[in-house]
A and B are shown apart, each in its own frame.
Chain A
């Protein structure tokens, strides 16, 4: 098995505000990413998946802190760096940003500067990290734009973002992220703002590019269809906790955590009229982080909640090869089996 390139261990992120108590947006996140593989991080809005992704590049606002946990980045053949301990504007971190770990954002319109050409913005990425002149940088840019499937790459490099369609803009964004052949690509809901056809094209493109570049990918989404399309592994987040991580086939076929099970049940299935069943929604609503149960965050909505759930945090239990879940039910079952 290849060595993981990024290990997030027991990460927690909290936000302070002047007139409220601190909010722990991310409480307990463990993730492992391996080169050439895609890990999809799924969860509802506000569960902390974007915050987790941004924490990897330390792009969080000034009021965010990382009270504990490690973000270990280890490119092949080098010592691991704990990104969580680097200063956000330090040289060490800036050498990683864009160069080793690159990021694609959700809204391709507002994520590109409206007053600089696409080419300028991609050139800049190359110029920051590599000793090349402007001409060489532009040549690379045009090659990249061509590679991400933008027709007329040479002319389009001189276009401004508002002159391109949403799909083309996201392609340009991808070209920018890949400019320095990063080891890890973080894609924060890259297809959410696009229509379905474009979405499929972008997913194909990302898969293709991953095969070409051999990088690891952390893919943030709330769309289980997209997960099935692109991911090798999936991690499910609920209210700041990663409740389950595993191979995408295992997790989809045999979800272990009640939240994952409930998610899978909420996907509509194509069926004949006679065979149709009502969708089974998850009861209740997501509580605010300050009302989160001390133990498992899902307790308040879990149909199987029992004794220890509300007060004790469930341990990370191995349920299969590379398949983990955090649920008291799993440990109880093993205890019963042992007894």
Chain B
């Protein structure tokens, strides 16, 4: 088990290095750099810029240098915990993103939790009572959940909240708590705001999870070991929970890892619609303005999330499934 984790960790670090190179390269791909778009926006407002000032700036940031030197400068900074300076915000990148990334992880982590809490019992019920009324209802609700785009669902929710309760939904905190320290009232405020985006983000995932769980469980329920368990004299609910459900969960556990990053990138539109201070909208903005250090940092951190998530689900999977644990010798 230990060697398994060590090997996976080494692979993880190598993957991260590769990802950082690719991420940096992609950010550099569009023609021009931040200064080009800066000049463009200045000229658009009619301002004149002295070419020498621009040239100075370019040298200062090392924007004229070849790709690998820029990358090397950036990555050595990152390793030391210095993510660089955002051109647009004129502030250190780290200061900008850590709060937003924290919000992202919190909202999306909650969404994952809600997904599993809802999908698990419904999926099991739908499989065990196949073709029952409840199964059909779960299927219909599931398809609707899958088919309705998240942002649309968010709009509907906001509309209904306004029409019925006269409240405007949006953001994650009330203004008075925006910059406050964490405390019980702030946590409460967070939950009163966060339930809607969490619900919106969880719908399609829940529907998908129910479908997968139901299909997996239907396969497992037919296996002979289920009959063996019944023949032992176990009560039916224990038979189901201890044996087939346990095995049907294995493939799902392996997906926990990429659930988080998928949610972060998938939540951009929802975040824009619901005005959430999460990482998604900031990433979008930084990419359009070619704010390369900011974009690079967010992408890098997202990939860290992905890779760490995958490592965690690998370890989880090896932990719950001995066939993987021992097969890896």
Select the residue from B247, B250, B322 with max chain A CB neighbours within 10 A.
B322
B246 touches A102 (CB 8 A): no
Interface residue from A94, A95, A115 paired with B322 (Cβ < 8 Å): A115
Report whether A105 and B247 are in contact in the complex, using a CB–CB cutoff of 8 Å: no
- Cα-based distance from A59 to B235 in the complex (angstroms): 13
CB distance from A86 to the nearest CB of B (A): 12
Q: Are A114 and B247 in contact (CB under 8 A)?
A: yes
Chain A residues with Cβ below 8 Å from B233 are: 94-99, 125, 128-129
In the complex formed, the residue of B with least CB distance to A91 is B235
B224 at the interface (CB under 8 A from A): yes
Q: Does B243 have its Cβ within 8 Å of any Cβ on chain A?
A: yes
A111 touching B326 in the complex, CB below 8 Å, given contacts A89-B235, A124-B234, A128-B234: no
Closest residue of chain A to B226 (Cβ to Cβ) is A113
Q: How far is the CA of A94 from the CA of B323 in the complex (A)?
A: 31
Q: Are B225 and A113 in contact (CB under 8 A)?
A: yes
B227, B232, B247: most-surrounded residue (chain A CB, <10 A): B232
Interface string of B314-329 (1 = CB under 8 A from A): 0000001111001000
Nearest-neighbour CB distance to chain B for A62, whole angstroms, equals 9
Chain A nearest CB, measured from B134 CB (Å): 15
What 0/1 pattern do residues 106 to 140 of A give for CB contact below 8 A with B?
11001111111100000011001100000000000
Contact between B234 and A112 (Cβ–Cβ < 8 Å)? Answer: no
Partner of A105, one of B228, B234, B246, B321: B228
Structural contact, A97 and B229, CB atoms closer than 8 A: no
For the complex, what is the distance from the CA of A117 to the CA of B322, rounded to whole Å?
A: 9
Are B231 and A59 in contact, with the CB atoms below 8 A? yes
Size of the chain A interface, CB-CB below 8 angstroms? 32
A54-B322 Cα distance, complex, nearest whole Å = 30
For residue A18, which residue of chain B has the nearest CB?
B131
User: Is A175's beta carbon under 8 Å from chain B?
Assistant: no
Q: Least Cβ distance of B322 to chain A in Å?
A: 5
A57 CB within 8 Å of chain B: yes
Chain B residues whose CB sits within 8 angstroms of the CB of A54 once the complex forms? 227
Cα distance, A8 to B155, chains bound together (Å)? 66
B245 to chain A, nearest CB (A): 11
Residue B223, interface by CB 8 Å: yes
How far, in Å, is A263 (CB) from chain B's closest CB?
A: 28
Q: Is A163 an interface residue (CB 8 A)?
A: yes
Asked if A113 meets B229 with Cβ closer than 8 Å, knowing A89-B235, A107-B224, the reply is yes
B321→A111 contact, CB < 8 A: no
Q: Do the beta carbons of A111 and B246 come within 8 Å of each other?
A: no
- Bound Cα distance from A287 to B316, whole angstroms: 51
Per-position contact with B for A60-98: 1 when CB-CB < 8 Å, else 0? 000000000000000000000000000001000011111
B150 shortest CB reach to chain A, Å: 35
Enumerate chain B interface residues (CB-CB to A < 8 A): 223-225, 227-236, 243, 246-247, 250, 320-323, 326
A-B contact pairs, 21 of them (CB 8 A): A59-B227, A89-B236, A94-B234, A97-B230, A97-B232, A105-B224, A110-B223, A111-B224, A111-B227, A112-B228, A113-B243, A114-B225, A114-B323, A115-B250, A117-B322, A125-B232, A128-B233, A129-B233, A160-B326, A163-B326, A173-B228
Q: Give residues in A with beta carbon < 8 Å to B.
A: 54, 57, 59, 89, 94-99, 102-103, 105-107, 110-117, 124-125, 128-129, 160, 162-163, 173, 176
Known: A97-B231, A98-B231, A102-B231. 11 other contacts (CB 8 A): A94-B234, A98-B233, A99-B233, A107-B224, A110-B225, A111-B227, A112-B228, A113-B228, A115-B246, A116-B243, A160-B322
